Amino acid sequence: MSQPQRHRNIPSPLSPDAWMADLFRSKAVMDGAVIRRKIRDIERYAGMQRFEKELRRRGFQAFANGGQLIIVCNQDPVRRVL
């Protein structure tokens, strides 16, 4: 049997602007929650430079860890606990 194919290097059906608009319209973002996305997906769908520009425009903070970007969707101060 053949193994399932990975979806690498397949272009996104959404434009970068449409992908980001969809992300930033989500309930979690609208509620000022914390979300996470794979860095690989951000690079694939929007481009990291464009994504970071939008985060700065919104006043959001982001942290990278383990291939994920953790995005704080509000402008409140962040304090590391441990």
Summary mean pLDDT of the chain: 90
Cα 44–Cα 25–Cα 67 angle in degrees, nearest 5: 35
pLDDT for the residue 12? 65
Tokens 């291939």 locate to 67
pLDDT for the residue 13? 73
pLDDT for the residue 3? 55
pLDDT for the residue 14? 81
The whole model's pTM is what? 0.81
Within the chain, which residues score under 50 in pLDDT?
none
Distance CA 77, CA 49 (A): 23
